[in-house]
Amino acid sequence: MKKALLSLIWLVAATSFAQNDFKILYGPYLQMVGENEATIMWVTSGKALSWVELAPDDGSNFYAESRPKYFQTLFGKRSLHRVHTVRITGLSKGTVYRYRVCSKEVLDEQPYFIKYGKVAATDVYGREPLQFTTLDSDKKNIRFSVVNDIHGDNELLKDLTCDIRDRKDDFIIFNGDMVSHMDSEQQIFEGFLNTSIRLYASEIPFYYSRGNHETRGVFSSEFIKYFPTPTELPYYAFKQGPVFFLVLDGGEDKPDDSFEYSETADFDRYRTVQAEWVKQVTASEIFKQSPFKIAVIHIPPVKSTWHGPLHAKKTLVPLLNDAGIDLMLSAHLHKYFYLDAGQEGCNFPILINSNTHVTHIDASEKEMNLEVKDRQGKVIETVIFQSGK
């Protein structure tokens, strides 16, 4: 009896220690990488004071000197959180940086005293430090890939994106519905993000176009917390090399008053406000002078008689027609389609990527080469675009 009691006490103690063992739970992964900035995100098992240490890619040992530290701050105060979002500014374009993330556990927090515990950090001793490269609008050639409608199928995601590093992609685009609905932090990471981090996302950024399934679920309002953007909205823009990207958000596919949304949908107004933003962006000189212009939107404004696509066609397509978009990248239908310019009221070609396909695009100032492959690596389609500039 005494032996059994001791065993039970040991088991409870060991379980308690395991539960309280502070660590980096998820990440790090890159967000909002631009020419002069980058945001690094990770999640710890408990509240922590966290920072990023940054070093140039100059061949020196990471421990050769004390590296500058960047903290997440709010109104002049360093933040204590589980979800860590460290935005680093003042960087140089087209430059490789090495980094380490560090989190110091918060054991107790009082008005004038904080008790800290252990520090969890990414390894720069037993392996090469993590690194990222800032964007460069003057870069002559770029390479990127697009996947969508993964719906939590990690094996599918792995098959489609396992060669991202070998291809030396500048980035990858997730064009919506990476999960079927957003239920929790754990579900997001286990649904697709952990696989992405393990394969590339700690060093190669992804840009996320929200799908209609990311608008669903009790955790959907947290989307922007885990996938921040320069506009602080799910639609935004960026430029890499010769290509300007308009990342749009088509919202949901049914009318706002559909009973499935339980009186919470207001996507018609959302798309209308977004259209005003599109007007401003497409009037900018950086947009106009770009050799190629790509619109990214999960729900295509074609091949559907449902309300969401029809409303997007009414509010967004006329603006994109006037702006001279060279290509629209869409998803949603779980089937592959390629529509030449001039079909269904769109002056631009539309590639609707299947959920079981990956699209690879290589672009220069004069030419953009598109290649679609299936899960087994078989080439389904190749298209070449010529720049009008």
Helix axes 267-282, 307-315, angle to 10 degrees: 30
Same domain flag for 150 and 128: no
> Residue 3 pLDDT more than 60?
no
Q: Verify that 94 and 158 share a domain, yes or no.
A: no
Query: Same domain, yes or no, for 183 and 316?
Result: yes
CA distances from 45 to 86, 211, 285 (A): 17, 28, 45
What is the distance between the alpha carbons of residues 95 and 305, in angstroms, rounded to a whole number?
Answer: 46
Residue 8 lies in a domain: no
Same domain, residue pair 321 and 270: yes
Clarify whether residues 100 and 221 are in a common domain. Answer: no
Tokens of 99: 């980094």
278 and 324, same structural domain?
Answer: yes
Instruction: State the pLDDT at residue 13.
Output: 42
CA distance from start to end of the chain: 85
Domain that holds residue 332: 142-386
Tens digits of per-residue pLDDT, 234-249?
Answer: 999 999 999 999 999 9
Query: Is 128 in the same domain as 147?
Result: no
pLDDT digits (tens, 9 = 90+) for 149-182: 999 999 999 999 999 999 999 999 999 999 999 9
pLDDT digits (tens, 9 = 90+) for 204-219: 999 999 999 999 999 9
Q: How much is the pLDDT for 361? A: 98
Average pLDDT, the chain: 94
Task: Kindly give, in sequence order, each residue whose CB lies less than 8 Å from that of residue 66, ignoring residues fewer than 6 positions away.
Answer: none
Residues 327, 361: Cα–Cα separation, whole Å: 11
- Is 327 a member of any domain? yes
Q: Which of 69, 102, 133 is the last residue of a domain?
A: 133
pLDDT of residue 7 exceeding 90: no
Confidence band, pLDDT 50/70/90 cuts, at residue 18 = very low
Closest to 270 (Cα-Cα) out of 302, 299, 243, 291? 299
DSSP for 214-236 reads: GG-STTGGGHHHHS--TTSSS-E
**Upstream peptide bond of 28 is cis (omega within 30 degrees of 0):** yes
Q: Is 377 left (phi over 0), alpha (psi -120 to 50) or beta?
A: left
**312 in the same domain as 202:** yes
Residue 8: CB partners within 8 Å, gap ≥ 6? none
- What pLDDT shows up at residue 373? 97
Report the C-alpha gap between 183 and 70 in whole angstroms: 31
Residue 146 token pair: 């697009």
Q: Which CATH number do you get for residue 64?
A: 2.60.40.10
- Rounded Cα–Cα distance for residues 246 and 139 (Å): 18
CB 296 within 8 A of CB 247: yes
**Of 75, 102, 133, which closes a domain?**
133
Three-class DSSP category at 377? coil
Stated pTM of the model: 0.93
DSSP state of 254: S
Provide mean pLDDT across the span 248-253: 96
Nearest 10 degrees: CA dihedral of 157, 160, 163, 169?
-90
Please check whether residues 116 and 196 belong to one and the same domain.
no
Q: Does residue 77 share a domain with residue 198?
A: no
The domain that holds 274 is classified in CATH as: 3.60.21.10
Cβ neighbour number for residue 262 with a 10 Å cutoff? 7
Buried b (16+ CB within 10 A) or exposed e, 193-221: bbbbbebbbbbbbbbbbbbbbbbbbebbe
d(CA 308, CA 48): 42
CA torsion sign, 20 to 24 to 26 to 32?
positive
Assigned domain for 253 exists: yes
Verify that 165 and 127 share a domain, yes or no.
no
Provide the Cα torsion 212, 215, 216, 221; round to 10°. Answer: 170
In a domain, 115, yes or no: yes
User: Is 370 part of any domain?
Assistant: yes
Whether 10 maps to a domain, the answer reads: no
CA distance 180 to 167: 29
In this predicted model, what pLDDT tens digit does every residue of 257-306 receive, in sequence order?
A: 999 999 999 999 999 999 999 999 999 999 999 999 999 999 999 999 99
What total of structural domains would you count in the chain?
2
Whether 271 is in a domain gets the answer yes
Residues facing 86 on adjacent strands = 40
pLDDT above 70 for 231: yes
Do residues 203 and 277 both lie within one domain?
yes
**Last residue of some domain: 133, 163, 178?**
133
Whether residue 4 lies inside any domain: the answer is no
Between CA 116 and CA 49 the distance in angstroms is 9
